[in-house]
Amino acid sequence: RGVGYAVGIKNICFSEGFDDYSTARVRLSIIGGQPAVLVHTAAAEVGQGLVTVQAQIARTELGIDRVDVATADTTVGSAGSTSASRQTYVTGGAVREACRAVRAKLLALAGVPDGVLRDGWVCHADGVPVAQVAEVLGDSVIEETREYRHRPTFPLDPFTGQGDSHVQLAFAAHRATVDVDVDLGLVKVVEIVTAQDVGKAMNPMALAGQIHGGTVQGLGLALMEEIQVADGKVRNPSFTDYLIPTIADVPPMHVQILELADPHAPYGLRGVGEPPTISSTPAIVAAVRAATGAALTRVPVRPEHIVGLQAPGGPSPSAGTP
């Protein structure tokens, strides 16, 4: 058995002066006598939970339960790519700004510009109800479109290598425990513990899912995933031959979420999706190295890299049994 540790740092959003932004349109209307919100962006949902987060932001800012998120398309404006762990940051920021613009117009219409919205009601700042949103809005519609840009970044100095080049940095750490059979070259990851600074947990359940998923991707790189090429042809072009982790390969995981807010980010959040993939792989490889004493220099670690190695403090695999 071996235990390994690794720490990873990942830049979030695009860097070095890139003009990165996203656009959101938010529409407030009355449908069936009840207030309803429609959120429209061009941001692609690829399983990271962005649609849910957009709806959460709208409910938080507008105090209205019914929120629909329109199918993403670019008629509303650009959202950029779903990459760099950036969408919750920039598209979430755009949705927040559009919602706040809608809220300001609604409160002005109600005659309480310093008021708040709660559970479908317009209220004074102290929470005393003024009127229902449906009464204030009537047949009118409020629609606002906003762009959100993160704080500016700058290219690194070509001579010193220094500069304010990244929007933010995310931090993750992993501890992996593995069992290694040095006769067969088999590795079983038996436990992973991870801690990650997320700034603000917008949706704790989805966030934990992203950390689990990124960690499993790192496990795949450590022990399984490798494209085999011969004579310019990929020899393992399907999931029959290209092995990825399944639920049978995933060990118990213990996730510690740290909320150290970024003052420059919407709600203080940090990008979450990619950082776990950085430190999980070296933690697992370090655990294999600790178990075998092998100077492992590549990933994935394959059985042929392990077979015949002597576990630290143990008998040689070639030694006979009494």
274 annotated active-site:
yes
- The CATH number of the domain where 174 resides is what? 3.30.365.10
Specify whether 25 is located in the same domain as 131. Answer: yes
Specify whether 125 is located in the same domain as 189. Answer: no
Confidence at 321, pLDDT banded by 50, 70, 90: very low
Determine, yes or no, domain membership for 321.
no
Q: Residue 255's pLDDT is what? A: 98
| 81-88 average pLDDT score | 95
Specify whether 81 is located in the same domain as 134. Answer: yes
| 72-88 average pLDDT score | 96
Determine, yes or no, domain membership for 99.
yes
pLDDT digits (tens, 9 = 90+) for 196-228: 999 999 999 999 999 999 999 999 999 999 999
Domain that holds residue 70: 21-149
| 93-112 average pLDDT score | 98
Specify whether 65 is located in the same domain as 131. Answer: yes
Q: Residue 316's pLDDT is what? A: 43
pLDDT digits (tens, 9 = 90+) for 262-314: 999 999 999 999 999 999 999 999 999 999 998 899 999 999 999 866 555 55
The DSSP 8-state label assigned to residue 180 in this structure reads E
Q: Residue 311's pLDDT is what? A: 54
pLDDT digits (tens, 9 = 90+) for 156-180: 999 999 999 999 999 999 999 999 9
Specify whether 287 is located in the same domain as 202. Answer: yes
Specify whether 268 is located in the same domain as 171. Answer: yes
Specify whether 133 is located in the same domain as 176. Answer: no
The residue whose two tokens read 């899912």 is: 209
Assess contact for 9 and 277: CB atoms under 8 A: no
Whether 47 shows a pLDDT value over 80: the answer reads: yes
Specify whether 25 is located in the same domain as 6. Answer: no
Q: Residue 192's pLDDT is what? A: 99
Specify whether 139 is located in the same domain as 188. Answer: no
Mean pLDDT of the chain: 94
Assess contact for 207 and 170: CB atoms under 8 A: no
| 82-101 average pLDDT score | 97
Q: Residue 320's pLDDT is what? A: 35
Determine, yes or no, domain membership for 16.
no
61, 97, 144, 274: the catalytic one is: 274
Q: Residue 28's pLDDT is what? A: 98
Whether 317 shows a pLDDT value over 90: the answer reads: no
Between the alpha carbon of residue 282 and those of residues 64, 97, 162, 210, the distances in Å are: 45, 39, 27, 19
Lowest mean pLDDT among 70-74, 117-121, 311-315: 311-315
Percent of the chain predicted with pLDDT > 70? 95
Q: Residue 295's pLDDT is what? A: 87
Helices (H) and strands (E) in the chain, counts: 5, 13
Assess contact for 88 and 210: CB atoms under 8 A: no
DSSP states of 79-103 as a string?
Answer: ---S-TT-HHHHHHHHHHHHHHHHH
End position of a domain, from candidates 149, 174, 194: 149
Determine, yes or no, domain membership for 53.
yes
Determine, yes or no, domain membership for 320.
no
Determine, yes or no, domain membership for 48.
yes
Tally of domains in the chain: 2
| 121-148 average pLDDT score | 97
| 25-41 average pLDDT score | 98
Specify whether 97 is located in the same domain as 173. Answer: no
Q: Residue 115's pLDDT is what? A: 96
Determine, yes or no, domain membership for 154.
no
Which burial class, exposed, middle or buried, applies to 223 when counting CB atoms under 10 A from its CB (0-12, 13-18, 19+)? Answer: buried
